[in-house]
Chain A
Amino acid sequence: MKALLTPDLLRRLEQFQLLAKRRAKSSLRGERRSQSRGQSVEFADYRNYVAGDDLRYVDWNLYGRLDRFFLKLYEEERELPVTVFLDASESMGFGEPQKFDFARQVTAAIGYVALCGFDRVSVCLFPGLAGRPFSLKTGESSGGQEPSRESILARGALRSVRGRKSSMRFLENLARLAPGGKADFNESLKRGALEAPHAGVAVVLSDFLDVGGYESGLKALVSRGFQVSAVQILAPEELNPQAYGDLRLVDSETGLAQEVTFGRHRMEAYSRVVRQYVQRLREYCSGRGIHFFQCSSDCALEDLLLSQLREAEVWG
């Protein structure tokens, strides 16, 4: 099993922390400031003493000055839920290197940063297992339609991870995943938004090439109160196709065929279509306060993680 992230990169990632614009709303304690009052060292406010309050929290200095009892309130620190929506459809298994491998590395980095900051990480893979034909078989991971038993267990283990100690297990489980099946981008994100008990940081990793579009899925996440970042990963051959001549292109997910005659002289027109598609997605995201990043699966991972995400203040 090849390591997803190099030890040097892991060491550099440890210095980061996810930046949340909104205060943490989870019900579990963590390291983030929240609206709730509770136990920590961060002083928040005073309130009047009423009978039955814990005398340990009475501010005796204030009592000495004003001859009245006041209680000191502290900010309760809560954890920040981080949800990664990882596209594991058939189309992500293309490219050299694979788009899915790149997406997995980004997931690993985000998860590692969050786990180091004592935040809860959930990885929602789509399509879910329900959408794929499978049987429980022991054995090696298959790249085809049937996910292995290992992959199924890894998916389950990635639903909710917390604590720095779990980070190595998290990376191992990520490495066991394999792409396959047909995904419904919008439905998966809508369901994820409804199922999440608390909104927090959401990162969507996909190629955003779904026939149903991407608008309603992203809208559902923003409406639910998530702070969303979207990373579009395209394969080098999607950006610069190398196949010329009379082609019959078959969609890996839907199986639909498209007949195309393509030559070097039409490359500029194709590139323009790709640019327009990405630009429309970028505008849609910026109109809704979503951070948007676009990269090719062969681009340098460090550039995205250490420079782009940092400049956009996703982490710092």
Chain B
Amino acid sequence: MAFVFAATIPVVVVFYLLKRRRTTRIVPSTLLWQRFLAETQASSPFQRLRHNWLLVLQVLLLLLAVMALARPYFGGELSSGRLQVVILDASASMRATDGKPTRFESAKVEALKLVAGLRDRDQMVVVQAGGFTEVRQSPTSLKSALRRAIEACSPSDAPTRLADALKLAETLTKDAPAAEIHLLSDGAAADLGEFDNKGLRIIYHRMGERGNNAAIVSMDVRGHPDDPTKRMVFATVANFSSNAVQTVLELRLEGTVLEARSLSLEARGSSPQVFTAQQGALEAIFTARLDLADDLLVDNEASVVSQLPRPVRALLVTPGNGFLEKALRSNPHVRLEVAPSLGVGKLDADVVVLDGVAPTVWPEVSMLAFRSARPGWFTNAIEAEVGGIVDWKPTHPLLRSVGLENIQIAKALVVKAPSWALNVVDAAQTPLVLAGEFQRHKVIWVGFDVYQSTWPLRVSFPIFIANALEWLSSGAAGGASTTMRTGDPLRLAVLEGLSAFEVTLPDQSKRSIKLEPGSRDILFGDTGRAGVYKVQAGALSARFALNISDPAESDIWPRDELRLGKHAGVGTTTLKRADLEAWRWIAAMGLGVLLWEWWYYHRRSV
């Protein structure tokens, strides 16, 4: 009969086999639940402990040792610990080789000394100031974490933004009255005037010994005024050392030496150099290199991407406007086509000029529109009489060499400037010329008919049209040169549908980056190294030359004093004496003795 109860065994087994029935719920995020489960899931190792006096004693000793290491404390009145902010200058000048082995490495050694001198209750923050400011370690007393953070710092080729780092340090030390800011730098920073010191305790540790450096501080390429196939390369070489220097300046085109010039540079003098070179390809890279073994090598080379001028294809859509057509045709870099209306289909033009016509399909290219307004640009555009021009922006590229005095306008459209556009020329009650970027294309809008004004009769009209085409075609008509500084992000417009792009860095390492679906532009920010970057995005490829080009950075004479703001100055400081505690070493020795005792006991018992 008792065996009947054996039938309950399968029931029990079934209970174990049955899955729990769970209610499904959708929650915003399971992140907190995952952490909750990780926190509450505990493993319980069961082990039978045998009574052993040695074990009890060892555990007791270990507990005491651990307690000592855990630094127990009693509640009482004690002053709070100091906060120290260590700012490591990671700019190009810190790569100068007059340190051991470089200034930056010397700064790291100095910072590690500061960590060693930290007292128990003191806290430290590690900030790296290169092209941008980065907190490498937030406030902590953990020396191992601080050492790790300092070891992980590395210098870049970007100019220093020490003022940003000091502002960040100011924010961090806002609630810590006894805080100290240790600035480990050579003082070669142009922006220190931006920072007004309001009673902060800044201790400046000067890095570097001397300033033996010559550099290429600027480089640019322009078209030759007489020969459009030739290019003029401008390079300024500066000597920042206190001795005269003899050197050779080489100009290379895509790695091939074109010319080498002997230069004699005076102490603290500079020498502008102009080269004339023949450029075959539409795009080429000119590189200038100083053959000189000075303390900072990275600024001895500079590159520039040079593009030959290419004709701008312009389409003028007009019912007939002789003035406009003549002004456009007078520009030798423009290939002009004239049409009475804009056809549907693929547009073969870089710039479209609309003269009072409203196309059914708006072209997706840059535009110069006279009175033509796309739906959505303006609300309630009414034609009215306007007096004359009352204000204009002479610094805008559209108005370069354009004088707008004594121009009469009879009628114009009275509109309100949309948010994407900037007023370039204004009448009393309306903007007359607007310029901006609408849906990724540049647009210039003129609110009056040129026949309703005296403008076409002035010399400023064809100059304005030439400036407008130059601006709309992004400088293609004049031949562009791209000079960028280290730390500037790379930007490139691409076609929609691209999923990834690849960047080749100056050290020839490659970086593949995924693009968000639907993105139409590339942004790449990791440009801390000087040299040529190559971006490959599908069939499109572009090269960017990034140089230091900063006289303040190349002038590597270590400053004895920093000028902060208008009046304040900070002098160099030497390290002060501090009592370094050694109890950790003694506690560790105690642990060692304990382990030895255990080993010795076991050896005897065997």
Q: How far is the CB of B37 from chain A (nearest CB, A)?
A: 7
Check B30 against A249 for contact (C-beta < 8 Å): yes
Closest to B131 in A: A223
A21-B171, A288-B138 given; A209·B523 CB < 8 A: no
Report yes or no: B125 in contact with A21, Cβ–Cβ below 8 A. Answer: no
Could you tell me if B171 and A289 are in contact, using CB atoms closer than 8 angstroms?
Answer: yes
Query: B18-26, B49-57, B312-320, B397-405: which lies at the A interface?
Result: B18-26
A228 to chain B, nearest CB (A): 11
The smallest beta-carbon distance between A315 and chain B, in angstroms, is 17
Interface range, B side: 35 or more
Q: Is A91 an interface residue (CB 8 A)?
A: yes
Q: How many A-B residue pairs have CB under 8 A?
A: 137
Flag if B168 contacts A289 (CB, 8 Å).
Answer: yes
| Segment of A56-64, A104-112, A254-262 in the binding face | A254-262
Instruction: Kindly state whether residue A67 has any CB partner on chain B within 8 Å.
Output: no
Q: Is B29 an interface residue (CB 8 A)?
A: yes
Contacts of B133 in A (CB 8 A): 222-223, 225
Comparing B181-189, B281-289, B512-520, the segment that makes contact with chain A is: B512-520
Q: Is the beta-carbon distance between B36 and A194 smaller than 8 angstroms?
A: no
- Chain A interface main SS type: mixed
Q: Known contacts A194-B489, A209-B32, A273-B36; is A246 also within 8 Å of B21 by CB? A: yes
- A191 and B517 form a contact (CB under 8 A): no
Is B29 a contact of A284 with CB atoms below 8 Å?
A: no
A248 contacts chain B at the CB level, 8 A cutoff = yes
A195: Cβ under 8 A from any B Cβ: yes
Interface check A52, CB cutoff 8 A: no
**In the complex, which of the residues B22, B27, B172, B523 contacts A289, with contact meaning CB atoms closer than 8 Å?**
B172
Chain A residues with Cβ below 8 Å from B26 are 249-250, 252
Q: Tell me if A224 is interfacial: C-beta within 8 Å of chain B.
A: yes
- Asked whether, in the complex, the Cβ of B24 is within 8 Å of the Cβ of A252, the reply is no
Given contacts A21-B171, A161-B419, A258-B30, contact A287 B135 (CB under 8 A): yes
Interface size on A, residues (CB 8 A): 65
**How far is A23 from B26 in the complex, measured between Cα atoms in Å?**
46
Question: Which A residues lie within 8 Å of B164 (CB)?
Answer: 225
Given contacts A22-B167, A209-B29, A248-B22, contact A224 B194 (CB under 8 A): no
**With A131-B516, A194-B525, A283-B138 given, is the CB distance from A277 to B22 under 8 Å?**
no
Interface of B is mostly: mixed
Residue of A131, A250, A283 near B25 (CB, 8 A) is A250
B165 to chain A, nearest CB (A): 11
Report how far A104 CA is from B439 CA in the complex, Å: 26
Cβ contacts under 8 Å, A194 to chain B: 489, 523, 525
A260: chain B residues within 8 A (beta carbon): 33, 36-37
Residue among A95, A224, A287 making CB contact with B132, cutoff 8 Å: A224
A219 within 8 A of B: yes
Fill in one digit per residue for A154-180: 1 if any B CB lies within 8 Å of its CB, else 0.
000000111000100000000000000
A207 at the interface (CB under 8 A from B): yes
Residues of A within 8 A of B132 (CB): 223-225
Residue of A nearest to B496 (CB): A130
Q: Which of B31, B171, B172 contacts A209 (CB 8 A)?
A: B31
* Per-residue A-contact encoding for B496-526, CB less than 8 Å = 1, 0 else: 0000000000000000000011110001010
Do B27 and A251 touch across chains, with their CB atoms under 8 A apart?
A: yes
Decide if B561 is an interface residue (CB 8 Å cutoff).
no
Q: Bound complex: CA of A99 vs CA of B567, how far in Å? A: 49
- Docked-complex contact A277 and B32, CB < 8 angstroms: yes
Chain B proximity of A147: nearest CB distance (Å): 13
In the assembled complex, how far is the CB of residue B343 from the closest CB belonging to chain A, in whole angstroms?
Answer: 25
Contact with B along A19-52 (1 / 0, CB 8 A): 0011100000000000100000000000000000
Q: Tell me if A270 counts as interface (CB < 8 A to partner B).
A: yes
- Interface assignment of A247: CB less than 8 Å from any CB of chain B: yes
Given the contacts A219-B135, A284-B138, A248 and B24 also touching, CB distance less than 8 Å: yes
Q: Is the CB of B28 within 8 A of A35?
A: no
Q: A194-B523, A225-B164, A258-B33 are in contact. Are A249 and B27 (CB under 8 A)?
A: yes
Is B383 interfacial (CB-CB < 8 Å)?
no
Measured between beta carbons, the chain B residues less than 8 angstroms from A103 are: none
In whole Å, how far is A55's beta carbon from the nearest beta carbon of chain B? Answer: 18
CB of A96 within 8 Å of the partner chain: no
Residue B34 at the chain A interface, CB threshold 8 Å: yes
Contact A91 B168 (CB under 8 A): no
Q: Is A238 touching B23 in the complex (CB atoms < 8 A)?
A: no
Residue in B135, B420, B489 with the greatest tally of chain A CB atoms within 10 Å: B135
Chain A residues positioned under 8 Å from B125 (CB to CB): 287
Would you give the 0/1 interface string for B114-138, flagging 1 where the beta carbon is closer than 8 Å to chain A? 0000000000010000001111001
Verify if A253 is at the interface (C-beta below 8 Å from B): yes
Select the residue from B21, B29, B40, B419 with max chain A CB neighbours within 10 A: B29
User: What does the 1/0 interface line of A259-291 toward B look like (CB < 8 Å)?
Assistant: 111000010011011101100000110011100
- Docked Cα-Cα span, A171 to B518, in Å, equals 28
CA of A162 to CA of B416 in the docked complex: distance in angstroms?
A: 14
Per the bound structure, the CA–CA distance linking A272 and B37 in Å amounts to 12
A266 to B37, CA, bound (A): 11
Docked CA distance A118–B502 (Å): 41
Q: Is B139 an interface residue (CB 8 A)?
A: yes
The answer for the CA separation of A194 and B35 in the assembled complex, in Å, is: 32
Is the beta-carbon distance between B25 and A249 smaller than 8 angstroms? yes
Q: Which residues of B contact A1 (CB under 8 A)?
A: none
Given contacts A223-B133, A270-B36, A287-B138, contact A160 B21 (CB under 8 A): no
Asked if B39 CB lies within 8 Å of chain A CBs, one says yes
Query: Contacts of A276 on B, CB cut-off 8 Å?
Result: 35
* In contact, B171 and A247 (Cβ under 8 angstroms): no
Which A residues are in CB contact (< 8 Å) with B138?
283-284, 287-288
What would 18 A/B residue contacts be, using CB atoms closer than 8 Å? Answer: A21-B171, A22-B167, A94-B27, A129-B518, A131-B516, A195-B523, A219-B135, A223-B133, A243-B23, A247-B23, A248-B24, A249-B33, A250-B26, A253-B28, A269-B36, A269-B39, A288-B138, A288-B168
On A, residues with C-beta under 8 Å from B are 21-23, 35, 90-95, 99, 128-131, 160-162, 166, 187, 190-191, 194-195, 207, 209-211, 219, 222-225, 235, 238, 243, 245-254, 256-261, 266, 269-270, 272-274, 276-277, 283-284, 287-289
9 smallest beta-carbon distances between A and B, as pairs: A287-B138, A130-B518, A289-B171, A91-B28, A209-B29, A248-B22, A94-B28, A223-B132, A258-B30
